[in-house]
Structure 1
Amino acid sequence: MLTSNGYVLDERRLGELVPVPEEERGDREVLRSRLQRDGYLFLTGLLEPAAVWAFREYYFGLTGAAADRASYRKVLFEEIVPGPEYAAFCAQPALKGWFAWFLGGEPFLHRRKIIRQTAPGENGIGTATQAHYDLVYLREGSDQVLSAWIPLGDCPVSLGGLTYLQSSHHRVLAEEAAGRLKRPAASITADLPALAEEYDADWLVADYQAGDVVVHTAHTIHAALDNVSSELRLSTDIRYQLADDAIDARWQNHWHDQDGL
């Protein structure tokens, strides 16, 4: 049984996130068409697993000694988030180089990069990322920003990784163009089952492994599942775009959970 913020997902509204086939991985135009069609690219094994595990070890090496919430926040926001190790991980050649190739120009990495840690048993409204699309947070720049969600370690469905609402970006694009979506909007809903019915679409899930990356558009609706395992789930989400496109200045400071975005 899968849940998100305590809501039980309807098994009839569940599907699988489809990885990009190996034979398509080197064809940029095919990948661009696939992204336009599906709203996401599930790139299995894009990163070296060793690099992912090394950063995970670094993270827990610093946070593991935190005795309380205040100590954890100090380490996270004063050491890890602005630190060179995190910057290097997010701009590693396998990642930055892929975006340079895919975008066809100089890639720009937004400084506001987010690390999410979810403990087992955390559920109820507000614990898992609610359904949203990223453009609602990035309106002061290009709408061609691409997000990369990266599990920092193996992340089977039970750990509560990201789930994507099938083909949702097409409706979001149409409603954005028609001006029917409320602004500003932080999230759409925590009720994923109801949203699946409204959109007549499935929530797509996957068992992620260290080294996997999911790239999605700024219009693709996604959310997080609850962690129903016995382990911590760790992930990061970062954003790349062409350096020549308009950049949202609000995202050029290091992430803090009190930054208002």
Structure 2
Amino acid sequence: MLTSNGYQLDERRLGRLVAVPDGERADRDVLRRRLWRDGYLFLTRLLDPATVLEFRRYYFAKTGLADADGRPREVERGAYRAVLFGEIVPGPEYDALCRQQALRGWFEWFFGAEVFLHRRKIIRHTAPGENGIGTATQAHYDLVYLREGTDQVLSAWIPLGDCPVERGGLTYLEGSHHRVRREEAEGRLKRPAASITADLPALAEQYDARWLVADYAAGDVVIHTAHTVHAALDNVDQVMRLSTDIRYQPAALDVDARWQHDWHDQDGL
């Protein structure tokens, strides 16, 4: 049984995220068409798993949130937040993870241009058993938070460690970017920036679409457009879920200046 924010997903409205086949990985035109069609690119093993797992160990050692196996520990919230926003988010280890050649180089190749990484980069963790509205990322599409820049920005969601479905990974609403693009073109812009809903089953019915899920592994990356509706599942495993989401775009296009500061959960974005 899969849930998100406590809402149980309907099995009739579930599907699997499809990874890009190895034979298509080096064909940029095919990948661009695939991204336009599906709204996402599921790239397995894009990153070195050892690099990802090294950062995972660093994160939990610094914050104390989990042991080496990812099992949760009790920590004082104030101390944890001080480390997260004062040391980890602005730190060189996190920056190196997000700018590693396997990632930045892929975006340069895909865009065929110099790229720009938004400074506001987000790290999320979900402990086992957390549920109810407000615990998992609610359904949304990224453009509503990036109105002051180009809509050609692409997000990379990176599981920091293995993330089987039960650990609460990201889920994508199949084909949702086509509807969002139409509504955006018609001027039905969602303002102010806000999530669509926590009720994923109802949204699937509204869109007549499936929520796509996957068992992610360390080294996997999912690239999605700014129009693709996505959300997170609840963690019903015994291990902490850790992930990051970052955004690249062609450097020559307009940049949302609000996203050029280190992330903080009280920054109003």
Q: d(CA) in 2 for partners of 1:243 and 1:185?
A: 24
Alignment partner, residue 40 of structure 1: 40
Q: d(CA) in 1 for partners of 2:188 and 2:143?
A: 14
Deviations 1:97-146 (CA, angstroms, capped at 9, x unpaired): 00000011011000000000100110001100000000000000000000
Q: State how 1:210-229 maps to structure 2 within 5 Å.
A: 210-229=218-237
Q: d(CA) in 2 for partners of 1:11 and 1:202?
A: 9
Alignment partner, residue 159 of structure 2: 151
Q: State how 1:30-179 maps to structure 2 within 5 Å.
A: 30-64=30-64, 67-179=75-187
Find 1:252's aligned residue among 242, 252, 260: 260
Partner AA of 1:106 in structure 2: E
Q: d(CA) in 1 for partners of 2:243 and 2:202?
A: 26
Distance 1:67 1:5, change over 3 A: closer
Q: d(CA) in 2 for partners of 1:67 and 1:198?
A: 41
- Does the 8 Å CA contact 2:125/2:240 hold for their aligned counterparts? yes
Residue 203 (1) aligns with residue 173 (2)? no
Alignment partner, residue 5 of structure 2: 5
Q: d(CA) in 1 for partners of 2:75 and 2:245?
A: 26
Partner AA of 1:96 in structure 2: R
Secondary structure of the residue that 1:237 maps to in structure 2?
Answer: strand
Q: d(CA) in 2 for partners of 1:229 and 1:209?
A: 15
Secondary structure of the residue that 1:77 maps to in structure 2?
Answer: helix
Q: d(CA) in 1 for partners of 2:192 and 2:109?
A: 33
Q: Does 62-71 or 171-180 show the bigger shift?
A: 62-71
Identity of aligned residues (%): 77
Q: What stretches of structure 1 of length at least 5 have no aligned partner?
A: none
Alignment partner, residue 250 of structure 2: 242
Q: d(CA) in 2 for partners of 1:135 and 1:249?
A: 14
Secondary structure of the residue that 1:216 maps to in structure 2?
Answer: strand
Instruction: Kindly report the root-mean-square deviation, in angstroms, between the aligned alpha carbons of the 2 structures.
Output: 0.9
Secondary structure of the residue that 2:19 maps to in structure 1?
Answer: coil
- Does the 8 Å CA contact 2:144/2:190 hold for their aligned counterparts? no
Partner AA of 2:119 in structure 1: R
* Moved >6 Å (runs of 4+): none
Aligned residues: 261
Alignment partner, residue 26 of structure 1: 26
Q: CA deviation at 1:181?
A: 3.8
Q: d(CA) in 2 for partners of 1:180 and 1:106?
A: 32
Q: CA deviation at 1:67?
A: 3.4
Q: d(CA) in 2 for partners of 1:232 and 1:59?
A: 12
Q: d(CA) in 2 for partners of 1:185 and 1:209?
A: 31
Secondary structure of the residue that 1:89 maps to in structure 2?
Answer: helix
Q: d(CA) in 1 for partners of 2:212 and 2:189?
A: 23
Q: d(CA) in 2 for partners of 1:212 and 1:118?
A: 18
Q: CA deviation at 1:180?
A: 2.3
Q: Does 132-141 or 177-186 show the bigger shift?
A: 177-186
Q: Does 59-68 or 20-29 show the bigger shift?
A: 59-68
Partner AA of 2:12 in structure 1: R
Q: d(CA) in 2 for partners of 1:115 and 1:182?
A: 25
Partner AA of 1:210 in structure 2: A
Deviations 1:148-177 (CA, angstroms, capped at 9, x unpaired): 000000000000000000000000000011
Q: CA deviation at 1:185?
A: 3.1
In the superposition, the TM-score normalised over structure 1's length comes to 0.99
